[in-house]
Amino acid sequence: MHRTAVLSLCALAAAYNTAMAQGVGYDNTPQIPGQKWKVHDKSRPNPPVVTPAPAGDPAAAPGDATVLMDGDLDAWQHADGGSAAWSVGADGVVTVKAGTGDILTREHFGDCQLHVEFSTPEPVGESQGRGNSGVFFFGVYEIQVLDSFENTTYADGQCAAIYGQYPPLVNVSRAPGEWQTYDIFFEAPAFDKDGNLEKPAYVTVVHNGVLVHNRRALLGRTSHLSAPSYSPHGAEGPIKLQDHGNPMRFRNLWVRPLSAE
């Protein structure tokens, strides 16, 4: 074999081995159903980094959307049913007030299109300790929010991952302090009268204008260090934003219910 070809193959092998040996995560967790990887597998390669287009102005809500966050928290409540205690700035930006708990929408939704704008804080810590939050459908199916700009973590826990199940196709995270967008299309799961799963949930995610999940079938409820599985629930549920102890910022959230027709 030509020496140049040998060197190229060696370089590719080295890059592959480096990716496989990222070393952030776990090696003693359960297998993810239908995959060769374990939950939060430290040997699972991180997706390639792609530079997104520059951040733009807030995206105006369509005329048929329900505005969930536009300078106030009226549409939200604390997980225990009380008032949402996160901070609202003079600019209308909502900041997670660490230790006050998750917030959930008062209104419930099934199949829907959700727009989210978020900004991660100045880096403190590493891996899951940097800019951690999450967007949950029905309060239990999470699209991860994390500072994944030059920050290595386990692949199924980085920004835009279906947490504990699938990494995004690519990493298009912007730098801390820059505004980022999610446009998420969520199809709710269906259960029969006995609580058996008839149809899994499906999710399509566009992160900063780039498709990172294309109608991906969810494996169940989000869990940490354990394999996902389904438990029956109703046809609609709340949207939840997570307090993970970091001062994440959110603005301009809106949702459009989608009918089967």
Q: What is the pLDDT of residues 39-55, one digit of tens each?
A: 999 999 999 999 999 99
The sign one gets for the Cα dihedral 85, 88, 94, 98 is: negative
Query: What pTM does this model have?
Result: 0.90
CATH fold label, 3-257 = Jelly Rolls (2.60.120)
Q: What is the pLDDT of residues 64-115, one digit of tens each?
A: 999 999 999 999 999 899 999 999 999 999 999 999 999 999 999 999 999 9
Q: How is residue 194 annotated by DSSP? A: T
Tokens, residue 139: 């309060």
Q: What is the pLDDT of residues 3-17, one digit of tens each?
A: 444 344 444 433 433
Taking the C-alpha atoms of residue 214 and residue 153, their distance in angstroms, rounded to an integer, is 22
Beta strands in 58-132 (DSSP E): 66-69, 76-78, 87-88, 94-95, 103-105, 112-119
